Amino acid sequence: MEEQNTVNNYTGTSYDESNMIHLEDMEHIRLRPGMYIGKLGDGSHADDGIYVLIKEAIDNSIDEFRMGEGKVIEVDVKDGKVRVRDYGRGIPLGSIVEAVSRLNTGSKYDSKAFKKSVGLNGVGTKAVNALSWKFVVQAFRDGKTRRAEFKQGKLQSDTGIIDSNEPRGTLIEFEPDNTKFENYAFHDDFIEPLLRNYCYLNTGLTIVFNGTKFHSKNGLLDLLTENLTSDPLYPPIHFKGDDIEIVLTHTNQNNDEYYSFVNGQHTTHGGTHQTAYREALGKTIKEFFNKNQDLEDIRNGLVAAVAINVEEPVFESQTKTKLGSRDVNKEGLSVNKFINDFVKRELDNYLHKHPEVADVMLQKIQASEKERKAIAGVTKLARERAKKVNMHNRKLRDCRIHFNDALTKDQEKNAQIENTCIFITEGDSASGSITKSRDVQTQAVFSLRGKPLNSYGLTKKIVYENEEFNLLQAALNIEEGLDGLRYNKVIVATDADVDGMHIRLLMITFFLQFFPDLIKKGHVYILQTPLFRVRNKKETIYCYSEEERLNAISKLGANPEITRFKGLGEISPDEFRELIGENMRLDRVTLRKDDAVSDMLAFYMGKNTPERQNFIIDNLVVEEDAADER
C-alpha cells in the first residue's frame, strides 16, 4: 500500500517525515527547560530555576569534597552573575567542553571515580550552560588549565590546554539568560539555606558565600538545632554511621516533622528513605517501651533528620526532591533494612543508657495518647463525615492529576505533582473566578465559608469538630504527616482588604498550631492579588501597590482606564487566567527559629486585646508622624 501523507481532519495540517525534528542537546534543554530545572521564574521564589542552576553548579564541587578532594568552595553572586570555584581534582582537561555541553557525558557514571554522587544523570552543568546568556568553565590540573566560553549553550572560545600556576580545581561562571528568566534577581534569603544545608551534610566543608564563611562541626545536629521552632523536650539524640546520620527529639508541637537527604541532596518531598526512617523510629520506640502504644502518639511532636548515601540514587524527578531508590548499593541491600537496622541498634542502646531521656519521651507519648483518646469519638465521626461529604461538589474542586489513583506511583505523575497547588479562597465568587481560570490539570480550589475559626490555644479536637478545618485537612491529606500531601503549594487566596488579611492570619494560625512543618517545608504561600488594573487599547497592566499604579499611568499615558479591585470576585476569569499562570505572584510563608512562634501567636491571636489595641494605636501614631514629616 502506497504511503500517503496523513491529514488531520480537525486542523487540515499534514503529518509526515517533514514534521520530524532532531534537536541537539543544548537546543532541547532550551526548548524544554522545565524537564531539566522545573519552572523558570524570576528568582522571587525558592524553587525558581535560577536557584536550581546554582545548585547544579555547586553539586559537582560537593561531589569532589565527598570524594575527599577540596575542603573549600567559593560561591559569589553579584549583579545577576554567579561564580563557583572549588579546589577538587578539576575536570579532565581533554573533556572539559563535552562535560558541560553533551548530555549523558560525565565521569559520574564510573562508580570508581564518584561512589556516592547526586549528579548521575549527566545533565547538571549542561542545563546551566544551555540556559545561560554566558557560561564559562575552566579547569586546573597539574600545572595546566583550559578555559571554554559559551553563549546560550554554543561554544564561543576555547583556549586549549595551556600552562597555569593556579591551584587545582574547577571554576564555573554563568549569567542566566534573561530571555528565559525575565527580569530575574537572586535573593540571598534563598541561597543561604541551600549553602548551609551543604555544610550540615558535609562536616568539615567550608563554603565562602560573598565573603561569609559557612561551616558546621556537628552535622545534622546543627541543622536540627537551627530549625527547631519549639523547645526540645530533651537534648537531640545524634548518631553517625557508615553512609548514614540521624538526629531526633520531641517537642510540644503537633504532628511529626522530618528533614531528609540523599548524597547531600535535600529531598524536600521525602521518598523511600524518609518513609523507612519514620517507620523505624516508631517501631523502635514502641518496642523499647513495650506498652503497645499507638504509633500516632509516638510520632506526635517528633522532629527528626536523616541523611544517607546511596550508590546510583534514583530520584522521581529531575529536580531530585524525592528518592525513589529501593536499594542502598549494587548488592541489593534495601533502604528499609539498612535504616531500620541502624535505628534499632543505636536508638535502643541509647535509651537503655539514658533512662532520663527515655522518661521524658514516655511522658510526651502518654500525653499525646491522653489527648488522642479524649477526642477519639469526635475524630472517628469527623473522618466518617469527611468521607461521606461530596467535597468535589461542595468544598473542593480537585485537579485532574489526582483523579486516577492508579497512577499514584507513576514517576511521570510524581514529577507533575511538583507543579500542583491548591487555592484556599474566601467565598463562592472568588472560588468561582479561580475555578474558571485555573489549569485544571494541576490547580485545585478549596472554598472557605466565611471566616475560619481562630484556632489559637485550642486542642487538635477542633481540627475534627470544625467542618472547614476537617475537610481542608482531608483535602490536603496531611492527617498522618506530609508524606501524603497532595499538593506542592498550598496558596491562601484572599481579597486585598482588611477582611482578606484577617482570613490569611487565621489560616496561618491554623497551620502553625497543627501543621507547622507544612510551613517549614515551604509549602504555604500567599497569593498577591492586584489592587488596580491600568489599561489602554494596546496594553493592560495589573498593579499591586500605589507605586506600581503610578508607574503604569506614567507608562501608558493619555488618560488610561483605571479600575480598583475590591475583591477577587470582581476579576474576570480571563484576567485571572493570567494572574494565576506560571508567573503568578506568590509570597512564601516562612518560619524560623528566631520567630518565637508561641510568643508571636499569643500576642497577635490571643486574648490580650488591650495590648494589641495599644500596639495598633502606637504604630498608627508613628505612621501619621512620618506622613507629617514628608
Distance CA 468, CA 385 (A): 12
- Enumerate residue ranges in the chain where pLDDT < 50: 1-11, 15-23, 106-115, 119-122, 392-393, 405-413, 622-630
DSSP helix/strand/coil, 238? strand
One-letter amino acid identity for 407?
Answer: L
Provide CB contacts within 8 A for 221, sequence distance 6+. 236, 238, 247
| Record: fold of 28-214 | Heat Shock Protein 90 (3.30.565)
The reported pLDDT for the residue numbered 595 is: 62
Top CATH class, 376-529+574-595: alpha beta
The reported pLDDT for the residue numbered 120 is: 39
The reported pLDDT for the residue numbered 12 is: 52
The distance of Cα 434 from the centroid of its chain, to the nearest Å, equals 24
The reported pLDDT for the residue numbered 325 is: 73
Distances in Å between the Cα of 55 and the Cα atoms of 60, 341, 528, 594 are 9, 32, 28, 26
| Nearest CA-CA partner of 234 in 368, 371, 366, 363 | 363
Parts of the chain belonging to CATH 3.30.565.10: 28-214
CA dihedral 386, 499, 43, 444 (to 10 degrees): 30
Parts of the chain belonging to CATH 3.30.230.10: 220-373
Distance CA 371, CA 365 (A): 10
Instruction: Report phi then psi at 572, rounded to 5.
Output: -70, 155
The reported pLDDT for the residue numbered 394 is: 65
- Indicate the CATH number for domain 220-373: 3.30.230.10
The reported pLDDT for the residue numbered 500 is: 87
- DSSP letter at 374 equals H
Parts of the chain belonging to CATH 3.40.50.670: 376-529+574-595
By CB atoms closer than 10 A (0-12, 13-18, 19+), residue 304 is: buried
DSSP helix/strand/coil, 515? coil
Provide CB contacts within 8 A for 589, sequence distance 6+. 508, 511, 519, 524, 525, 526
| pLDDT tens digits for range 235-261 | 999 999 988 999 999 998 888 889 999
CB distance 116 to 310 below 8 Å:
yes
C-alpha cell at 521: 517545608
One-letter amino acid identity for 618?
Answer: D
- The string over 407-426, giving b where at least 16 C-beta atoms fall within 10 Å of a residue's C-beta and e elsewhere, is eeeeeeebbbbbbbbbbbbb
Strands (E) in 398-552, as ranges, are: 421-426, 443-448, 489-493, 524-527, 532-535, 540-543
Distances in Å between the Cα of 144 and the Cα atoms of 94, 97, 167, 168, 567 are 11, 16, 10, 9, 64
**SS3 track for 76-143:** EEECCEEEEEECCCCCCHHHHHHHCCCCCCCHHHCCCCCCCCCCCCCCHHHHHHHCEEEEEEEEEECC
The reported pLDDT for the residue numbered 93 is: 94
The reported pLDDT for the residue numbered 627 is: 41
The reported pLDDT for the residue numbered 210 is: 96
